[in-house]
Amino acid sequence: MTKPTPTARVLTTESGAPVADNQNSSTAGVGGPIVLQDQHLLEKLARFNRERIPERVVHARGSGAYGHFEVTDDVTGFTGADFLSAVGKRTELFIRFSTVADNLGGPDAARDPRGFAVKFYTEEGNYDLVGNNTPVFFIKDPLKFPDFIHSQKRDPFTGKQEPDNVWDFWAHAPEATHQVTWLMGDRGIPASYRHMNGYGSHTYRWTNAEGASFFVKYHFKTNQGIRCLSAEQGAELSGTDPNSHQTDLLQSIERGVYPSWTLYVQLMPEAEAADYRFNPFDLTKVWPHKDYPLRRVGRMVLDRNPDNVFAEVEQSAFSPNNFVPGIGPSPDKMLQGRLFAYADAHRYRLGVNHTQLPVNAPRATTANNYGRDGLMATNGYDRHAKNYEPNSYGGPVQSDRPLAAPLAVDGHVGTHAAPAHSKDDDFFQAGELYRLMSEDEKERLIANIAGGLSQVGREDVIEKNLAHFHAADPEYGSRVEAKVRELRED
């Protein structure tokens, strides 16, 4: 797979001077110490020391690919987004899939949600849809996110993931029961990135050309079919081929077997949100399809591997606040928190000018603004252009076209629990998911949960978790409890 270089060019230093010898460093005499004037050696060693940047604090391990999105169905009644404005319209995109909890180098076949981050290079700027392969999430307030992630990643004392921490967090987060049921079920270990769905997970907001708004949820359905690994298969593959998802995606595209997904949306007219039976902005819940059916939008195809994993995948930066006109945020608190967190992470991980890197810069349009300079800037060469606005010299001006219709709000500023809806509760949908499973699936779900929960040291933490499964469905609770007791007696 290595592409041959057609003609050998002369090796140079970073400043372009020819290198005479790349095998022997300069020494004082034949057997003497190395001299400080060996610029090539110093540069090589110093660069090597700086080859790594901070890994993503979550979703560190991932794989990327380029492709396109093509609109297949008319959705102009719901959004004015230009890239969705005509059937047949194509938009170039980059996607990064990932696991969440482990560090760079962690095994691909872990039981973990998978990231599903898409960057659409639209003519009106980049639109980032930063989702997962799960339609829901563990928590519903961003204040809890750092605590949640601390409990799932390596413990600062033991240096490894700890069932005590994982389940202690969930013991205090009844709202996680739905996502825990999802994660411990069959879909918790996808066979590959190609064989899983993607979800925007949050509720977003579309606004059409007339200014009417709709709340929207995104579903990318895999056209390869869903395939998953059992706990045993996942454990084995993690040892024998920790890069299994990377290998699968890379080879599939190299062979010309291009993976694709069909994008559907669920649309809720804005006026229905306030009286819906549960909070439509609660990320721990799905919208039943019988309330809001799936409506097809288009097809995503991945057909090109990145040439350089560091430059394009490691340095890619997705942010849920990269919207385009016609698409905006809903009041989902988790989403609101994420609107800050990502670009902040990018400024730390990649620097303030990460938006100028080729994978992150707009492709179907250009970025025209007065943000200039800073570490590693490459955009300051616009001949004598002014760096303030407004100006009298033809610099870029505002569009006067809002991204989305204004959203009505009322009440007092303060820390509020989410607004209560008539059927809000943390367990009902977890029970629904359990009851949907076949007997075999239930058996595996119980074994997976009990396998982790039975390793927890404290009885009170186990009890609190069992109470959540009992609340979701009495049979579900009893079976998990019996299995945990059995494993603890062994």
Q: Which of 80, 107, 115, 329 binds ligand HEM (CB under 6 A)?
A: 115
State yes or no: is 243 an active-site residue.
no
Q: Note whether 346 binds ligand HEM by CB under 6 A.
A: yes
Q: Which of 267, 260, 266 is nearest to 221 (CA)?
A: 260
Q: Which CB sits closer to ligand HEM, 146 or 457?
A: 146
Residues ≥6 apart with Cβ < 8 Å to 173: 138, 139, 144, 148
Q: What is the 3-state secondary structure (H, E, C) of 6-42?
A: CCCCCCECCCCCECCCCCCCCECCCCCCECCCCHHHH
* Min separation Cβ 349 and ligand HEM, Å: 5
Residue range at the interface with ligand HEM (CB under 6 A); choices 80-88, 125-133, 260-268, 274-282: 125-133
Q: Which CB sits closer to ligand HEM, 317 or 466?
A: 317
Torsion angle (degrees, nearest 10) of CA 464, 468, 470, 473: -170
Per-position x/- string for 304-343, each x denoting binding to ligand HEM as judged by CB under 6 A, each - no binding: ------------xxx---------------x--xx--xx-
Residues ≥6 apart with Cβ < 8 Å to 104: 55, 60, 61
Q: Which CB sits closer to ligand HEM, 316 or 454?
A: 316
Give the total of residues touching ligand HEM (CB under 6 A).
Answer: 27
Q: Note whether 418 binds ligand HEM by CB under 6 A.
A: no
For residues 344 and 347, what is the distance between their CA atoms, to the nearest angstrom? Answer: 5
Q: Note whether 469 binds ligand HEM by CB under 6 A.
A: no
State yes or no: is 132 an active-site residue.
yes
Residue range at the interface with ligand HEM (CB under 6 A); choices 128-136, 167-175, 259-267, 443-451: 128-136
For residues 262 and 170, what is the distance between their CA atoms, to the nearest angstrom? Answer: 33
Q: Which CB sits closer to ligand HEM, 317 or 357?
A: 317
Candidate list 132, 165, 305, 360, residue with the active-site label? 132
Q: Which CB sits closer to ligand HEM, 147 or 389?
A: 147
Which H helix or E strand runs over 343? helix 333-349
Q: Note whether 285 binds ligand HEM by CB under 6 A.
A: no
For residues 186 and 437, what is the distance between their CA atoms, to the nearest angstrom? Answer: 10
> Could you say which residues in the range 184-203 bind ligand HEM, by CB under 6 A?
201
Q: Note whether 98 binds ligand HEM by CB under 6 A.
A: yes
Cross-strand bridge partners of residue 68: 92, 301
Q: Which CB sits closer to ligand HEM, 327 or 484?
A: 327
**DSSP for 117-145?**
EEEEEETTEEEEEEEESSSS-S-S-GGGH
Q: Which CB sits closer to ligand HEM, 342 or 434?
A: 342
Q: Which of 40, 96, 119, 442 binds ligand HEM (CB under 6 A)?
A: 96
Asked if 374 and 351 count as a contact pair (C-beta separation under 8 A), the reply is yes
Q: Which of 69, 137, 193, 476 binds ligand HEM (CB under 6 A)?
A: 137
Q: Evaluate the CA torsion angle 396, 397, 400, 406 in order and state its sign.
A: positive
Q: Evaluate the CA torsion angle 469, 472, 477, 483 in order and state its sign.
A: negative
Which H helix or E strand runs over 265? strand 260-269
* 284-314 as b/e: b if 16+ CB within 10 A: bbbbeeeebeeeebbbbbbeebbeeeeebbb
Q: Which of 67, 80, 125, 142 binds ligand HEM (CB under 6 A)?
A: 142
Residue nearest to ligand HEM (CB): 115
Just list the catalytic residues.
Answer: 59, 132
Q: Which residues bind ligand HEM (CB under 6 A)?
A: 56-59, 62, 96, 98, 115, 117, 130-132, 137, 142, 145, 201, 316-318, 334, 337-338, 341-342, 345-346, 349
